[in-house]
């Protein structure tokens, strides 16, 4: 029994690590889409940020400098998306896809030119990486039954970005639902004409949303390259941006739901990793492929039958035209 409990704690521990990048990217998408800018380029921004963070983290041996670089790259890509889709009223999907391709190609090219390791950055030096934080007394409490593992395995022993990601959830909720900026941001995603009539700049609001999205994507990408692993690898996001996008729809564009959706996806991933190749009593060994398909099967089933319709912000995807002339 206790063995099972301990295993569960370890799975949850792994869940937290795996859902962090999803959660950051999902919240990033939340800001953008709530303001009416559909962002399919989450993946590309994460990848760009991962590369920026990996490269600068390697060169400066300073994780914080790496994080800043990651955020800068991601915000830069976000502004390109903004320029194309807000200022020039281009199609947001097309622009987002372009960002993805741009990031995929540029990171590989620059990585190869600068480091000559097949698009990889070299392994980070000491200090170039966010290390795990151990809470006080974590080691002493490890052997205390029940709460010991809970405290020392699950709560303690993550890097700072993990804690920041989970703090970003209430913060996002507060910003979006309790501040004037948040109210306007949501309004601009539902009915930009009304916001414009009230004398508030739709363009500037949407740009701020895109920048907020860029900052969070920067965290997500940096987490991949300088916290969870050590260094950038070509295409290391491996579709996480798209899973975050699915989680966003799953969560009906709400911050707390987003957290639960990302935790669920992370949990399924962790279970898949843990149970792979182990036989389960009464069932036997379950094929790897089943576990890998599980998140997608679940998404389809839950979206089709249980969650109900996910209604996006009304003005999402529609460029705002101030006046027809």
Partner 1 sequence: MRSCATRGNGPAPGGPRMSEDIHVKKVLTLGTALAGLAFSVVGAAAADIQPAVLYDLGGRFDKSFNEGAYNGAEKFKEDTGTEYRDFEIQNDSQREQALRNFAKRGMNPVIAIGFSQANAVEKVAKEFPDTQFAIVDMVVDLPNVRSILFKEHEGSYIVGVAAAMASETGKVGFVGGMDIPLISKFACGYKQGVMATDEDAEIFENMTGTTGAAWNDPVKGGELAKSQFDRGADVIYHAAGGTGIGVLQAAADAGKLGIGVDSNQNGLHPGSVLTSMLKRVDKAVYKAFEDAQNDSWSSGIEVLGLKEGGVDWAVDDNNAELITDEMKASVDDAKAKIISGEIEVHDYMSDQSCPF
Q: How far is the CB of 111 from partner 1 (least distance, A)?
A: 10
- List helix spans (H) across the chain: 2-34, 42-60, 63-82, 92-115, 138-141, 147-149, 160-178, 180-190, 192-197, 202-222, 240-250, 255-275, 288-301
118 binds partner 1 (CB under 8 A): yes
Give the one residue of 45, 81, 120, 206 binding partner 1; rule: CB under 8 A: 120
**201 lies in the binding site for partner 1 (CB under 8 A):** no
Q: How many residues bind partner 1 (CB under 8 A)?
A: 32
Question: By C-beta, is 181 or 291 nearer to partner 1?
Answer: 291
Site for partner 1 contains 289 (CB under 8 A): yes
Q: Does 256 bind partner 1 (CB under 8 A)?
A: no
User: Rounded distance, CA 123 to CA 18, Å?
Assistant: 21
Q: Under the criterion CB under 8 A, does residue 69 sit at the interface with partner 1?
A: no
17 is an interface residue for partner 1 by CB under 8 A: yes
Strands 158-159 and 279-280: unpaired
Identity of the residue, 112 or 191, whose beta carbon is nearer to partner 1 in the bound complex: 112
- Does 239 interact with partner 1 (rule: CB under 8 A)? yes
Q: What residues does 284 pair with on adjacent strands?
A: 280
Indicate whether 23 belongs to the interface with partner 1 (CB under 8 A).
Answer: no
- Contact between 61 and partner 1 per CB under 8 A: no
Which DSSP helix (H) or strand (E) runs through 306? none
Q: Is 46 in the site for partner 1 (CB under 8 A)?
A: no
* Smallest distance from partner 1 to CB 146, Å: 18
Instruction: Compute the least distance from the CB of residue 228 to partner 1, in Å.
Output: 5
How far, in Å, CA of 291 to CA of 117, rounded? Answer: 33
Tell me whether residue 171 or residue 238 sits nearer to partner 1 (CB atom): 238
Contacts of 192 (CB under 8 A, 6+ apart): 36, 202, 315, 320
**71 is an interface residue for partner 1 by CB under 8 A:** no
Is 222 strand, coil or helix?
helix
Residue keyed to tokens 């009915």? 191
Q: Could you tell me if 119 and 112 are in contact, meaning their C-beta atoms sit under 8 angstroms apart?
A: yes
10: helix, coil or strand?
helix
Binding mask 265-284 for partner 1 (x = CB under 8 A): ----xx--xx-xx-------
**Rounded distance between C-alpha atoms, residue 171 and residue 255, angstroms:** 9
Q: Which of 123, 183, 310, 321 binds partner 1 (CB under 8 A)?
A: 123
Helix axis angle for 240-250 and 255-275, nearest 10°, is 130
Which C-beta is closer to partner 1: that of 245 or that of 316? 245
Contact residues toward partner 1 (CB under 8 A) are 10, 14, 17-18, 21, 112, 116-120, 123, 224, 228-231, 233-236, 238-239, 269-270, 273-274, 276-277, 288-289, 292
């Amino acid at each position: 029994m206790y063995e099972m409990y301990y295993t569960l704690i370890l799975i949850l521990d792994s869940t937290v690590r795996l859902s962090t990048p999803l959660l950051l990217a999902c919240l990033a998408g939340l800001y953008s889409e709530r303001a009416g800018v559909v962002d399919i380029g989450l993946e590309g921004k994460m990848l760009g940020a991962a590369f920026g963070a990996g490269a600068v983290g390697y060169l400066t041996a300073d994780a914080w400098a790496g994080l800043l670089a990651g955020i800068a790259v991601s915000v830069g890509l976000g502004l390109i998306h903004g320029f194309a889709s807000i200022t020039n009223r281009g199609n947001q999907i097309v622009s987002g896809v372009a960002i993805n391709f741009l990031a995929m190609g540029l990171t590989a090219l620059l990585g190869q030119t600068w480091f000559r390791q097949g698009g990889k950055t070299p392994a980070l030096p000491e200090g170039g990486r966010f290390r795990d934080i151990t809470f006080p007394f974590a080691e002493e409490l490890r052997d205390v039954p029940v709460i010991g593992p809970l405290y020392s395995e699950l709560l303690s022993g993550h890097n700072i970005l993990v804690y920041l990601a989970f703090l970003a959830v209430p913060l996002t909720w507060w910003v979006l639902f309790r501040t004037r900026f948040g109210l306007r941001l949501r309004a601009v995603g539902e009915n930009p004409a009304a916001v414009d009539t009230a004398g508030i700049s739709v363009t500037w609001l949407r740009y701020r949303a895109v920048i907020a999205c860029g900052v969070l994507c920067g965290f997500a990408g940096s987490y991949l390259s300088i916290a969870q692993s050590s260094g950038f690898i070509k295409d290391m996001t491996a579709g996480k941006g798209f899973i975050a996008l699915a989680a966003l729809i799953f969560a009906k564009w709400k911050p707390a739901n987003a957290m639960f959706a990302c935790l669920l996806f992370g949990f399924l991933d962790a279970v898949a990793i843990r149970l792979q190749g182990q036989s389960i009593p009464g069932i036997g060994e379950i094929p790897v492929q089943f576990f890998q398909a599980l998140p997608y099967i679940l998404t389809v089933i839950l979206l089709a039958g249980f969650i109900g319709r996910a209604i996006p912000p009304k003005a999402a995807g529609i460029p705002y035209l101030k006046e027809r002339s």
